[in-house]
Structure 1
């Protein structure tokens, strides 16, 4: 009974490792596609980094009411 449980536990661990490796491969493919899109979408001058367009824009200034109102 114990050897059977050990074999099942080993199979479960190997399945989990295989799933994690496959998930990491998919993540690597997605990152590669995003990098290629960014490489193609960079400015024509070539001096700027392509990921600057991902930077958030500053918030608009808060209107302040004059004193006494």
Structure 2
């Protein structure tokens, strides 16, 4: 199976979209649940600890933190 992903933090941090919205868009573009979006890459760095905390605990309009939404 092949797949693709998205590498962003700004889009999630600035609430341009949620993981759920990305999945819905992928399904809309491909015409169904077989869209092959399989990865969301976020930075892991001690310098950037705030994005990690936000990813784990959530905030803003997303109902689930990004890490949980990918589960």
Q: Which fold has the larger relative contact order, with Cα–Cα distance below 8 Å and residues 6 or more apart in sequence? A: 2
Larger strand fraction of residues: 2
User: Considering only CA atoms, is the larger Rg found in Structure 1 or Structure 2?
Assistant: 1
How would you bin the TM-score normalised by the shorter chain?
under 0.3
| Structure-1-length-normalised TM-score | 0.21
- Which has a greater percent of helix? 1
